[in-house]
Amino acid sequence: MAANPASRWGLRVLGLGYLTLLLLIPLVMIFFKTFEDGISPPLDAVTSPDGLHALKLSLLMVAIAVPLNTIFGVGCALLLVRRKTKLNPVIDAVINLPFAVSPIVIGLSLYLLYGVGGWFAFISEEGFKILFAVPGMVLASIFVSLPFVVRETVPVLQEIGTDQEQAASTLGANGWQTFWKVTLPSIRWGVAYGVVLTTARVLGEFGAVTIVSGAISGQTQTLPLFVEKQHENFNDPGAYGASLVLALLALVTLFAMNMLKRKEDA
């Protein structure tokens, strides 16, 4: 169907209008609200000891959860695509659980498991604190962002097929060499996209982390929790400032990937 110019423009305006209303205007509003009373209120909030600690903690979550989920995700995708077993459909369904279950529920389930009376309560009793501490928050972050790398990698693996891997093996490469020299370079953009999504998800995670962390200022408060606390305390410029930092971090991640990709294509 060759659309006429009028309907083509109509569709564009409709699409862009929808996006503007739902996504752009709220984000732009935050930007303006942040600097309504000048630059110092948001800056003070973000550079306060609690604010800096929250930023550091968020980045720590990313530094731990993203690599772990990347390794797991690529391995799991290889298993799902390259090794056909009877368990595959089950694994495939289980991996989607974090998408289907509300983060609050995930947080509560961790709370039940590691809290007083839970199956794994003995770990805390031995002195290794999980709930209301960094380990619990890492667990929650890993849980909620688990599926992204798998979901982005599986279709790319299916698309490249096995020819190149088989060619590598006839040329003398063992499984490990084949993976590093042939498979991984072929799927890298799928993996990279999964990493970006995982990073964004970990940075923004609120529900599950709230439950397991207890949101103790200066101790177990990530940036989203800090934003919420500032908002609760009627320090809106502080909340907006921290939100802006979060948004900027997400943008930096996206740009980093775009730059890498452009360099690759050139």
Partner 1 sequence: MGISVEGANKRFGDFQALDDVSIEVPDGSLTALLGPSGSGKSTLLRAIAGLEDLDSGLVTINGENATGKPAQKRGVGFVFQHYAAFKHMTVYDNVAFGLKIRKWDKAKTSARVHELLELVQLEGLAGRFPSQLSGGQRQRMALARALAVEPKVLLLDEPFGALDAKVRKDLRTWLRNLHEEMHVTTIFVTHDQEEAMDVAGQLVVMNQGRVEQSGTADELYEHPANEFVMSFVGEVNRLGDHFVRPHDMEVVLDADERTQEGLVQRIVTLGFEVRVELVLSDGTEVWAQLTRAELQRLELREGQIAYLRPIQAKSFNGSSSSNLDGASTPLGSHDGGDAGLPAAV
Which residues in this chain contact partner 1 in the complex, by CB under 8 A?
A: 163-164, 166-174, 177, 181-182, 185-186
Q: How far is the CB of 178 from partner 1 (least distance, A)?
A: 8
In terms of CB distance, is 33 or 261 closer to partner 1?
261
Q: How far is the CB of 184 from partner 1 (least distance, A)?
A: 10
Q: How far is the CB of 145 from partner 1 (least distance, A)?
A: 27
Q: How far is the CB of 81 from partner 1 (least distance, A)?
A: 17
Q: How far is the CB of 34 from partner 1 (least distance, A)?
A: 43
Residue 10 CB: number of other CB atoms within 10 A? 12
In terms of CB distance, is 143 or 179 closer to partner 1?
179
In terms of CB distance, is 4 or 174 closer to partner 1?
174
In terms of CB distance, is 187 or 246 closer to partner 1?
187
In terms of CB distance, is 168 or 242 closer to partner 1?
168
